[in-house]
A and B are shown apart, each in its own frame.
Chain A
Amino acid sequence: MNEDQLFEDLLQPGATWSHNMKRGTSLRIRDIQGNANVGAIFYNRENFAERYNMSDTLKAQHIARLTRGNVLYSDMGRILCSVTEDTVGWHDPISGCSNEAAVRAKYGEARYQEHRNDYHRNAYDSFVIELAKYGLGPRDMTAPINFFSKVVVDDETGAMHFIPGNSQPGMFVELRAEMNVLVILNTCQHPLDPNPKYEPRPVHLSIRRTAPATANDPCRLYQPENGRGFTLTEQYFL
């Protein structure tokens, strides 16, 4: 670990993790084996009613995918996290997450009784269980991001297509916290992944101390909307 690194851990296949990310730190998520999927939701730690908003994130930046230079907007016009590094190039913000019925239909039943900790987990239940630890519930569940996964939309028809093999071993994405953020991650498979096998992948997590966004920060300069988003976020901490 270098001296700025504060933490590292392995997030097991199908596992869930939550953390209070402090403004001034960055979380790096690294795909170890390739073909990882990391579902993610974000909340303002000081006011859980403020949370990551898919639509505000997409329309402020005119995007239907996330990569370096993009930011994650809350529903209150502020930036929860910035995507400061990305070697993958495309992360999916639109497809949502797996649920119990879909996982059973796709991969069959695998209960804890027979399979111990290899039992089949699904992303929706995993998010809601983790939310409950903070006094939150299904009403607080918001539209998650799927890091490392790519879903493209056909120009004419609007059809959605999952693109396999989007992430290779060693690829990573880094999120800089612009507020004090509750982040919840899990490594359940993407709901549109055509792989017929239950085969979630592990990822490596690390947190390091980082300087705040400068005037020339690429995320701030991505477009004028992000400049205003940073201004509003900085005003929150006055």
Chain B
Amino acid sequence: MNTTVASTLDSRKSGYDAIVPAGEPWIHEIAKGQYFRIIDCDGNQAADTLFYNARDYEERYSAQNTIREQANIYLTTGTRLMSNRGNALLTIVADTCGRHDTLGGACATESNMVRYAIEKRHMHACRQSFLKAIIGWGRGLEKRDLDHNINFFMNVPVTHDGRLTFEDGVSAPGKYVEMRAEMDVLAIISNCPQLNNPCNAYNPTPVRVMIWDPTD
């Protein structure tokens, strides 16, 4: 059902290589032309991700512009990740998973109360991690800058009759998605701590992030 495309980059030559533990945020700049890979280390882990123009945070990833421009709700190889101004922030150049979600959004303590039970308020959630990341980063980023995100490795099918479901993942240990930055971007990942639905197979696990220079 999904087409997968492997990368030609050599893992040993990446200039940046880090592990993002489950439930933690990661914030980092990626320069125009660099390649950015996110690896689902143990399988079925949602990597909630936001992108901004690193020179002007008012320009940011737009989920609706991205799916509308390609007239398809799933993100995979060839998808241009579009900004609110209609520019490509990054392009997906390799994808061994085959399908990523951008409609399901990020979990929050508030939405967890609605979705599961009001007693779930205390549970850790992606928007807590996003807020921690931007508070730490500073430089003017605020809650209002947290728009609709990408859920890499997450499977959220929509049916012809307008239903939306969270399905067990199409990802597996070692699967990855790789992007080329089309401008200098700021990336924020919340490695999702959700324990209430199958987006993480009820067991949040680490993801690995790697960056290559264009000459590598």
Binding between chains A and B: yes
- A residues with CB within 8 A of B: 48-49, 53-56, 58-60, 62-65, 73, 75-78, 90, 94-97, 99, 101-102, 124, 137-144, 152-161, 191-192, 225, 228-229, 231-232
A60 lies within 8 A of B114 (CB): yes
> Cβ of B14 < 8 Å from any Cβ of A?
no
A62 lies within 8 A of B164 (CB): yes
A53 to chain B, nearest CB (A): 7
A76 in complex: contacting residue of B1, B74, B110, B162, CB < 8 Å: B110
B62 to chain A, nearest CB (A): 7
> How far does the alpha carbon of A63 sit from the alpha carbon of B164 in the complex, in Å?
5
B166 lies within 8 A of A94 (CB): no
| Given A55-B106, A56-B105, residue A159 in contact with residue B114 (CB < 8 A) | no
B160 lies within 8 A of A154 (CB): yes
A77 lies within 8 A of B71 (CB): no
| Given A54-B148, A75-B110, A96-B62, residue A63 in contact with residue B162 (CB < 8 A) | yes
B145 lies within 8 A of A59 (CB): no
Determine the chain B residues whose CB is within 8 A of the CB of A101 once the complex forms.
86
Interface residues of B in 75-99 (CB under 8 A from A): 84, 86, 99
> How far does the alpha carbon of A143 sit from the alpha carbon of B115 in the complex, in Å?
20
**Knowing that A139-B142, A141-B84 are A-B contacts, what are 5 other residue pairs whose CB atoms are under 8 Å apart, sorted by A's residue number?**
A95-B67, A95-B68, A139-B57, A143-B62, A157-B72
A–B complex contacts, Cβ < 8 Å, 17 sampled: A48-B144, A55-B106, A56-B105, A56-B111, A58-B103, A64-B159, A77-B108, A77-B110, A90-B162, A94-B103, A139-B57, A140-B144, A153-B158, A153-B159, A154-B160, A157-B72, A158-B73
- Residues 147-165 of chain B, each 1 if its beta carbon lies under 8 Å from chain A, else 0: 1100000001111101111
> How far does the alpha carbon of A65 sit from the alpha carbon of B144 in the complex, in Å?
25
B56 to chain A, nearest CB (A): 10
> How far does the alpha carbon of A95 sit from the alpha carbon of B62 in the complex, in Å?
11
A56 lies within 8 A of B108 (CB): yes
Most buried by A among B64, B86, B160, B166: B64
> Cβ of B29 < 8 Å from any Cβ of A?
no
Residue of A nearest to B117 (CB): A228
A75 in complex: contacting residue of B68, B99, B108, B156, CB < 8 Å: B108
> How far does the alpha carbon of A48 sit from the alpha carbon of B144 in the complex, in Å?
9
> How far does the alpha carbon of A158 sit from the alpha carbon of B144 in the complex, in Å?
29
Determine the chain A residues whose CB is within 8 A of the CB of B65 once the complex forms.
96
> How far does the alpha carbon of A232 sit from the alpha carbon of B57 in the complex, in Å?
32
Determine the chain A residues whose CB is within 8 A of the CB of B33 once the complex forms.
none
> Cβ of B63 < 8 Å from any Cβ of A?
yes
| Given A54-B148, A94-B67, residue A160 in contact with residue B73 (CB < 8 A) | yes
> Cβ of B104 < 8 Å from any Cβ of A?
yes
A77 lies within 8 A of B111 (CB): yes
> How far does the alpha carbon of A154 sit from the alpha carbon of B159 in the complex, in Å?
7
> Cβ of B55 < 8 Å from any Cβ of A?
no
Determine the chain A residues whose CB is within 8 A of the CB of B158 once the complex forms.
64, 153, 158
A54 in complex: contacting residue of B103, B113, B143, B163, CB < 8 Å: B103
> Cβ of B58 < 8 Å from any Cβ of A?
yes
Determine the chain B residues whose CB is within 8 A of the CB of A124 once the complex forms.
84
Interface residues of B in 44-76 (CB under 8 A from A): 57-58, 62-65, 67-68, 71-74
B105 lies within 8 A of A55 (CB): yes
